[in-house]
Structure 1
């Protein structure tokens, strides 16, 4: 038995005895709190501009710094999950995130805040190490459910971060949320150090070879390529909704203020409940069917969202449907790619999430242009096209993918 096989076997044995419901909750909480660090700054830009007496354009560069830091973390830090003992790695990353969050809270000027915020966003990719770690700790027959449950924390953290940040800023300015985040990171680091089982490193190669192997994985795994394309299209559609949402809600017929607009992100949290359900369906051999239905749900959602230009009920229904469909497909994509090469889960997640993130960048850029040219109707048409392309690519898959029956010994009903 090779070192990689021994590591996987050890993880499998640990899963059945150590991945309890409380541990799943801790992992989901840590994932949500880590990823939220990247989004706290977005509703605070005007406050930062006023505090440091800079233009809103200059303050807007903070979002760019956060995005750049996140990409650097995806490329350089997430692959370490296959090389370094993961309990030690995530503990160190959370402690470092706590220190840097405190530095954000104490930043004396904009350049320092830009630097520290970029570092905090880079360390927020700890969430992308914890998700494959949860998959490793889970028994094969429950892996989809576990990945779905833990990933629901990521969705909740992403959607609620702006609301929580805006609320904290209303109490004590932009610094408070980073001070709170610093404490949360340290507490989670201590907690994970105590409750996580040790996981043997899956790889013994050098760091340079580890990074290079990400490219090799993409080149040699057609199923990973396919799921990356779908992830790109799905997250592009997701951001097409959320990028111009504030403009729609601020204008007629709604005329909502910033606080109320921020609360709309919480409607998307409802879809987090779809993640464990979608994962459990995958565990029961219905991964292909679940992806098909989820992508179809995303297509249908854009009809409701189009009606949302004048109907609040339709708008809320469209948000819930789009996010639920997006989450259901995303969980089953991850479940499948994590099974391709168990010893390379962190590197596979690096490739998958990199495509995922690029889709978000493309979607937000397209949405800004399309909304200016075609308003909400044009935005919904763009989202519909992206959803239809994803569904067609999924349905027209030739040659047929390696099924989950091959990957994990679980029968798959296909689409």
Structure 2
């Protein structure tokens, strides 16, 4: 049974770990100067971090259905330390790209934590618990952008990775002392576990729909935040990385939205919450398109895209965890693969759109991505299982 202290620990661990996927987004301009590469080339660091995260979700997250989850979390955090060390010491662009891919691959601790929390939570409190875990995730993303921008401005981008390394070591100790062991779930081989992923995806229509919904929402989210640093460091703004990090403060709204949407899900259902979140995402790019040269409009769109995307993740996972309890890690792994492949697509398309069409191209691409996400809602409510309360 989950205690409040355990929920806090899981939420904080998820947040500090997921931050490692987003650290580089505010650092791209500084890294490009350090390695002497173009904006298009340096965008590969953000793209490959998320591809690595997607691969980790495919090959590592399903292990949560096979082995004791605390042990998996501790082992992965140790590998995160290796990835952070390699990033901090990178001497070339290729080195940094490789380190970013590896770091993304092992930074999937939150996706071991989420199904663990869902399994331990009561059915009528699952939305609230997932919302609380999402607070940590959103806060981690927020802190990644905010802290990395300030640290980069004062000490350089390498110091960001050294700082994250120190916090990761701290959380290894906290998890070791504060999280009890849990039972192993499945009696099958790793090969059998991976071979079961295809049939699960083909069978579960709800899984397909939430993959499309959050995959495209996260693509739009990643597109926005990857290119925002280029917008704000260019005329008419011409801000430094510290100021760009400050803009990330508005995404704290996503942290407040997650528990609100969690309670809404427990009372009104995940389907309606899912639709509301995608409409918010659409609105964010309409605002960004209309007001790209007006800072308050950019800040408003940053808030809306973060609220819509992070709350939508809670809604989608609430739908997902109404399915087979013994498959939760695999369901979540497949779901997060699509989410971060979407994120990688968003980073790639965002850099290309900025390079060729600047902010107008970015906003147009974002609108298309959210419109595709909305298509996942067509007819979905008829197929949704009813949650037990």
TM-score by structure 1 length? 0.84
Distance 1:169 1:249, change over 3 A: closer
The structural deviation recorded for 1:100 is: 4.2
Equivalent residue for 1:55, pick from 16, 36, 60: 36
CA distance in structure 2 between the aligned counterparts of 1:374 and 1:116, rounded to whole angstroms? 30
The structural deviation recorded for 1:332 is: 1.0
The structural deviation recorded for 1:117 is: 4.1
The structural deviation recorded for 1:227 is: 1.0
User: 1:409 is matched with which residue?
Assistant: 388
CA distance in structure 1 between the aligned counterparts of 2:6 and 2:192, rounded to whole angstroms? 33
The structural deviation recorded for 1:373 is: 4.7
- Deviation track 1:137-185 (CA, whole Å, cap 9, x = no partner) reads 2111111111121122222222431332232234433333323222222
Q: Structure 1 unaligned segments of length 5 or more: list them.
A: 1-14, 411-415
Query: Which segment is superposed worse, 344-353 or 301-310?
Result: 301-310
Equivalent residue for 1:231, pick from 214, 218, 227: 214
Q: Structure 2 unaligned segments of length 5 or more: list them.
A: none
Write out aligned runs for 1:9-408 (5 A). Answer: 15=1, 19-44=2-27, 54-56=35-37, 62-63=45-46, 65-106=48-89, 113-394=96-377, 396-397=378-379, 400-403=382-385, 405=386, 408=387
User: 1:10 is matched with which residue?
Assistant: none
Query: Which segment is superposed worse, 306-315 or 198-207?
Result: 306-315
CA distance in structure 1 between the aligned counterparts of 2:302 and 2:252, rounded to whole angstroms? 10
Distance 1:361 1:118, change over 3 A: closer
CA distance in structure 1 between the aligned counterparts of 2:329 and 2:67, rounded to whole angstroms? 11
Distance 1:108 1:226, change over 3 A: closer
CA contact (8 A) 1:38 1:120 kept: yes
CA distance in structure 2 between the aligned counterparts of 1:390 and 1:165, rounded to whole angstroms? 30
TM-score by structure 2 length? 0.89
Higher relative contact order (Cα pairs below 8 Å, separated by 6+ residues): 2
Distance 1:287 1:46, change over 3 A: closer
CA distance in structure 1 between the aligned counterparts of 2:36 and 2:235, rounded to whole angstroms? 28
SS at match of 1:244: helix
Distance 1:300 1:102, change over 3 A: closer
CA distance in structure 2 between the aligned counterparts of 1:120 and 1:42, rounded to whole angstroms? 14
CA contact (8 A) 1:45 1:56 kept: no
SS at match of 1:40: helix
CA contact (8 A) 2:152 2:241 kept: no
CA distance in structure 2 between the aligned counterparts of 1:318 and 1:165, rounded to whole angstroms? 21
The structural deviation recorded for 1:22 is: 2.5
CA contact (8 A) 1:145 1:283 kept: yes
Query: Which segment is superposed worse, 231-240 or 24-33?
Result: 231-240
SS at match of 2:192: helix
Larger Rg: 1
CA distance in structure 2 between the aligned counterparts of 1:237 and 1:349, rounded to whole angstroms? 20
The structural deviation recorded for 1:62 is: 4.5
Distance 1:44 1:393, change over 3 A: closer
CA contact (8 A) 2:17 2:109 kept: yes
CA distance in structure 2 between the aligned counterparts of 1:30 and 1:365, rounded to whole angstroms? 28
